[in-house]
Amino acid sequence: MKITIYGRTLNVYEQLIDEPQKEVNDQLNEYFNGDREIFDLEYDIPEGFVGSVLREIQKIDYGETKTYGEIADKVDSIPIAVGQACSKNPLPLIVPCHRVVGKNSVGGYLGESDSEVKRKLLQLEK
């Protein structure tokens, strides 16, 4: 499924979500309207390193951020590898990789460097 946010189209791998598309869309709309902070969806996380990073990212609360380095420490890796794993997130927004930031900058978002989309998502949550 494709969703467009702030002018950017994101691919959400719907085959990983065990919910009807209408439910996913409803929860996304609630999130953008400020009525939802946590997605209540059943979904699968990939295995391997990317999955380890995504499981750690799931622990970041709405309105909070962690650095790539903090996540790297949790998964016994390095910040750049965490950033690369974030860029492969098959469930953007649902697994909130936008909450992972650089030590001295906002960092990229799904392969973009220094993303305005990421800034807007973080602003929405503050």
Active site positions, annotated: 97
Between CA 67 and CA 79 the distance in angstroms is: 8
- Given the structure tokens 């909450």, which residue do they identify? 99
Query: Tokens at residue 106, please?
Result: 């906002």
